Amino acid sequence: MASNDQPFIIKKVKKAAHGHHGGAWKIAYADFVTAMMAFFLLLWLVSMTTPEQKKGLADYFAPPNVSESMSGAGGVMGGQAFDENGAKVSSDSRMDALTAPETSAAGPKVAAKGGLGEIGGSEFEASKSASVDMKSKWNQDFHGAATSIKQAWQAMPDITSIDDNLSVTETDEGLDIQIMDRDGRPMFPEGSKFPYETTRQAIASLAPILQRLGAQISISGHTAAGAVYNNPRYGAWDLSLDRANVVRGILGEFGLTDDHISTVSGNATAKPLFPNDPYLAGNGRIEITVHYAPPAVPADLKP
């Protein structure tokens, strides 16, 4: 029997395992989801804020050394509301340079007349320029006060039910604050000079803001036509005046000093807000007009 000398060959194949992919993609995906959540949260916050709040946020993050405007509606406050301490931005430092004497190379010093870069101008021009600067300051201060009033009302839950009864408007004279009746929702009980508690809270919130503003204030009461008075000696003139005076007392109770009050008057039905319908409930109102004028007697004046 022949021997089989042929060798046996055995092949062993080793299979290499695939490399581990790692978890870096998970971190990137988590960052993406977090960014999207923050983005949608930002969109929600933007949609929930009022224009006044957006303006306040923009002013907060604006560089303090950049003036929002150089004239007209610019002023010194840059749209910011009064804070609890009544702080304001200081007046424009350029005024020091404008009112300082200037030395001429060819002659003696010439006194500056003030205003918008006028050197050696007439007294009339200097007075006109000073009036422009003062009006600009008032514009900005009053804008800040209006914003503060709206924010104060929005922050009071009890007042949300009477939002339509309250308004504050910037006018050529200053501010016009209206506290008016609505159909089915009066601000005073019928025939009473004392307001409802929510009305009282809305009025009280005005006092510290108007005190810091330092302007002159007129308060006038108005009634709608058609009311019936049981007392023949007490009518619309008496009621409108009494309501205006009660409002003055509430403002004084919460911080507004008497030197800021210029007039308190009752107009009965003589000046309806809606002349075409003098019987409309909205004609019954309290008007608080804030004028572009400081108190006649300075607050720090002592005898």
Q: Where are the beta strands (DSSP E) in 32-171?
A: 166-170
pLDDT of residue 301 exceeding 70, the answer is no
Q: Which amino acid is at 206?
A: L
Residues of the chain with CATH 3.30.1330.60: 157-303
Point out which residues pair with 261 in neighbouring strands: 217
Helical (H) or strand (E) element with 150: helix 123-154
Q: Which residue has the higher pLDDT, 77 or 205?
A: 205
Q: Looking at residues 84-111, what average pLDDT do you find?
A: 44
CA atoms within 13 A on the CB side of 90: 6
Average pLDDT taken over every residue of the chain: 76
How does pLDDT run across 206-229, given as a tens digit for each residue? 999 999 988 899 999 999 998 888
DSSP symbols for 4-29:
--PPP----PPPPPPPP--SHHHHHH
For the chain, the C-alpha Rg in angstroms (whole number) is 34
Domain 157-303: state its class: alpha beta
Distance CA 144, CA 192 (A): 34
H helices present in 171-278, as ranges:
197-204, 206-213, 236-253
User: Which tokens sit at 134?
Assistant: 């003062």
Contacts of 187 by beta carbon, 8 Å cutoff, 6+ apart: 162, 165, 179, 180, 181, 195, 196, 199, 284, 285, 286
Give the pLDDT score at 218. Answer: 94
Other Cβ atoms closer than 10 A to 269: 18
Say what the pLDDT of residue 130 is: 47
Give the pLDDT confidence of 172-187 residue by residue, as tens digits.
888 999 999 988 889 9
- For range 199-212, the mean pLDDT: 92
pLDDT at residue number 142:
85
The Cα 269–Cα 266 span in angstroms is 9
- The predicted model gives 280-286 an average pLDDT of 93
pLDDT average, residue stretch 270-285: 92
Find the mean pLDDT for residues 56-84: 54
Which residue is listed with tokens 């508690």? 197
Is the pTM of the predicted complex or chain greater than 0.85?
Answer: no
Q: Dig out the tokens for 185 from the structure.
A: 């929702």
What is the pLDDT, as a whole number, of residue 14? 65
Q: pLDDT value at position 222? A: 96
Contacting residues for 201 by C-beta, under 8 A, at least 6 apart: 156, 158, 159
Cβ-count burial of 252 within 10 angstroms (0-12 exposed, 13-18 middle, 19+ buried)? Answer: middle
Q: What percentage of the chain has pLDDT greater than the value 90?
A: 36
Q: Which residue has the higher pLDDT, 161 or 239?
A: 239
